[in-house]
Amino acid sequence: MNSRCVAATLGAALLMAGCATSSGPQYYSLAETAAPVRTAVAAGGTTPVYIELAPIAMPERFARPQMVVRKKGSPESPAVDILEDHRWSSSFDSELRDALGSSIASRLGAVDVTKTGRLRGQPATRIAVQLGQFDAAEGSRVDASFTWTVRRTDEGPATGCQLSLSEPVGSGFDALAQGAQRVTAKLADAIAASVSAIKANQVPSCAA
């Protein structure tokens, strides 16, 4: 085999190797790696606590797997980027609901019946969350605002709460995803506290 053939063969092999090792989208999760675990007593009772989380309400632009971020270098601009190569592991509304459900349950020592369903007559605290704002800027911060209602199943009116958060983040999309994780964890803290207050027949401090 002459040198030209060797060079052509080597070039083709390198091209194939490059195609084989090219990376696809990077996926991120909002789930905590080590959520705090507490007992049902923290929720104001000794009997098992059941929670049921409604689908998260949010603007349609966020209900997608791709990260939606502010234009880099222009965090105050109304322009955003929808990142095909940086995605949540599922649609953002589903990702947030799954992360919140498990985190709230772990904080309360509760049973999350969101997906499994509850038995007829089984009491459960129903939680409905609405995302109002979720602005993420790489190398800057994640600003988010939420409202939610908590009520005991079929018992009286719902109690409403609201929370605004701002979490500083470093450079890179890993740092941005970690900032979103921290926002989610703080939201879970606040919701769990409101559930505990209601179970104890108290008015949550976050009540709107």
pLDDT at 47: 67
Domains in the chain: ranges and CATH: 25-199 (3.40.50.10610)
Read off the pLDDT of each residue in 189-208 and give the average, rounded to a whole number: 84
Triad 189, 190, 193: Cα angle to 5°: 85
Query: How many Å apart are CA 71 and CA 88, to the nearest integer?
Result: 19
The pLDDT-based confidence of 16 (bands split at 50, 70, 90) is: very low
Q: DSSP 3-state helix, strand, coil percentages of the chain (rounded to 5)? A: 35, 30, 35
Query: Which range among 8-17, 87-96, 155-164 shows the weakest confidence by mean pLDDT?
Result: 8-17
The pLDDT-based confidence of 14 (bands split at 50, 70, 90) is: very low
pLDDT at 36: 59
pLDDT at 200: 82
The string of pLDDT tens digits covering residues 43-57 is: 445 567 889 999 999
Average pLDDT, the chain: 83
pLDDT at 208 over 80: no
DSSP-derived secondary structure for 51-113: EEEPPPB--GGGSSSEEEEEPTT-TTSS-EEEEEEEEESS-HHHHHHHHHHHHHHHHHT-EE-
pTM for the full model? 0.81
CB 193 within 8 A of CB 119: no
Token digits of residue 171: 């450079």
The pLDDT-based confidence of 130 (bands split at 50, 70, 90) is: very high
pLDDT at 153: 73
pLDDT at 19: 47
